[in-house]
Amino acid sequence: MNLEVILRAGLSTGTILIFAAIGEIFAERSGVMNLGVEGMMLIGAMAAFKVSYVTQNAWLGLLAGILAGGILSLAHGLVVISLQADQTVSGLSLTFLGTGLALVIGEGLTGLNTPTIPTVTLPLLSKIPFIGLIFFTDFNLLVYVGYLLIPLSWYFIFKTRPGMHLRAVGEKPSAADSLGISVYGTRYLYTFIGGCLAGLAGATISIAISPGWYSNLTTSGQGWIAIALVIFARWNPYTAALGGYFFGMLRRFTLDLQGPAMILGLRNPFFYDHNLVFFLQMVPFALTIVALVWGSGAARRNRRGTPAALGIPYVRGERGL
């Protein structure tokens, strides 16, 4: 067990959660809750893997993964924005739909090898003592994209004009409408962006960080953890990123905990009774529940962060938000 290894593994696998969570932050900031993240990630992972395999080009695969997630999210957009259906149920059904589509189209991909997104060491930055070695050496390119996306998305949401429009639509759509901002257009756009980022998160699994197609085990619930992170993070990209990296580290930590026979001079129970590992595997899911309870508590104390119109369809001319 090595702190450096755990930290680096966290930065690497945490990237998956960060893409998905930031995508969901965009969608929810516009007032559209999309619980279909797991399905969009899975279809993104499958499309990226399949296209990468067929074309033997990982970049085309990446593009396909992003678009697949985005296109699927438009189905959700159509149902909840235009047809004003219940967002939670529609999001849930999107997960089923995405999973089913991914399983059918991804039939026969298991066990194949594809080209992957390259691993790179950043020049200059990697030369910084200690930090360079941990943060900027030998990571998949997408990990660095994650580094950039966090501050950029924060800046976009809170400091730019389109970001302000986005928040306005999620807080008070009727006011945004009266200022000439297209509520439907904005919601479609950010639902699509959220879907693209979820697709990217899936592609990050299948053709970058842990390459391969393992049917619905590819994502194994990470889409849901990402949604929980969004609530826990109060719709803020920085906090979501911290949570994402933390979950990444936790995953590695629970793996490493099974290795040594002794920990801090004590017999390691996980080494001697291998079945106890099942309890370690529960930890991320249990912790997600804890994070949710925490996030909901914060939500009751102050409503800051929660988009006021989240989950509420907008109908022009009707009373409401």
Partner 1 sequence: MKFPYKIKFESRTNDVPKWLPLATSLGAVVVAFIISGIVLWLIGGNPFQVYRYFFTASFGSWGAFSDILVKATPLILIGLGCSVAFKMNILNIGAEGQFYIGAFFASMVVLVPIIPLDSPKWLVLTLMALMGILGGALYGFIPGFLKAVFNVNEIITTLMLNYIAIFWNNYWIFGKYSDAGFQMTPTFDKVAWLPRLADLAKDYPFFSGITLHLGVVFGLVAAVLIWVILKRSRWGYEIALIGDNPKAANYAGINIKKNIILVMMLSGALAGLAGMSEVTGVVHRLQERISTNYGFSGVIVAWLAKLNPFAVIPVAILFGALIVAGREIQPSGLSFMIQGTILFLVISSDVFLRYKVRIVRTHQEEMA
Interface residues toward partner 1, by CB under 8 A: 35, 39, 75, 78-79, 83-86, 88-90, 92-108, 215, 221, 224, 227-228, 231, 273, 275-276, 278-279, 281-282, 285-286, 288-289, 292-293, 296-297, 299-300
Report residue 312 as tokens: 């509420």
Q: Nearer Cβ to partner 1, position 155 or 294? A: 294
The whole-angstrom separation of Cα 146 and Cα 162 is 21
Report residue 209 as tokens: 């960080």
Residue 284 Cβ, how far from partner 1 at the closest point, in Å? 9
CB-CB neighbours of 257 under 10 Å? 18
- 267: part of which helix (H) or strand (E)? strand 266-267
Q: Which amino acid is at 166?
A: L
Residue 8 Cβ, how far from partner 1 at the closest point, in Å? 26
Answer whether 20's CB lies under 8 Å from 223's CB.
yes
Q: Nearer Cβ to partner 1, position 79 or 197? A: 79
Report residue 155 as tokens: 């800046």
The whole-angstrom separation of Cα 43 and Cα 218 is 10
The whole-angstrom separation of Cα 213 and Cα 202 is 10
Closest C-alpha among 153, 116, 121 to residue 18: 153
Residue 233 Cβ, how far from partner 1 at the closest point, in Å? 14
Q: Nearer Cβ to partner 1, position 125 or 217? A: 217
Residue 132 Cβ, how far from partner 1 at the closest point, in Å? 37
What is the four-CA torsion angle of 156, 161, 167, 168, rounded to 10 degrees?
A: 180
Q: Nearer Cβ to partner 1, position 3 or 89? A: 89
From residue 3, alpha-carbon distances to 7, 139, 193, 241 in Å are: 6, 17, 35, 19
Residue 43 Cβ, how far from partner 1 at the closest point, in Å? 11
Report residue 113 as tokens: 């090898």
CB-CB neighbours of 157 under 10 Å? 20
Q: Nearer Cβ to partner 1, position 13 or 140? A: 13
Residue 88 Cβ, how far from partner 1 at the closest point, in Å? 6
Q: Nearer Cβ to partner 1, position 108 or 123? A: 108
The whole-angstrom separation of Cα 168 and Cα 9 is 37
Q: Nearer Cβ to partner 1, position 50 or 167? A: 50
Residue 214 Cβ, how far from partner 1 at the closest point, in Å? 13
Q: Nearer Cβ to partner 1, position 100 or 163? A: 100
Residue 54 Cβ, how far from partner 1 at the closest point, in Å? 12
Contacts of 149 (CB under 8 A, 6+ apart): 18, 19, 22, 237
Answer whether 288's CB lies under 8 Å from 224's CB.
yes
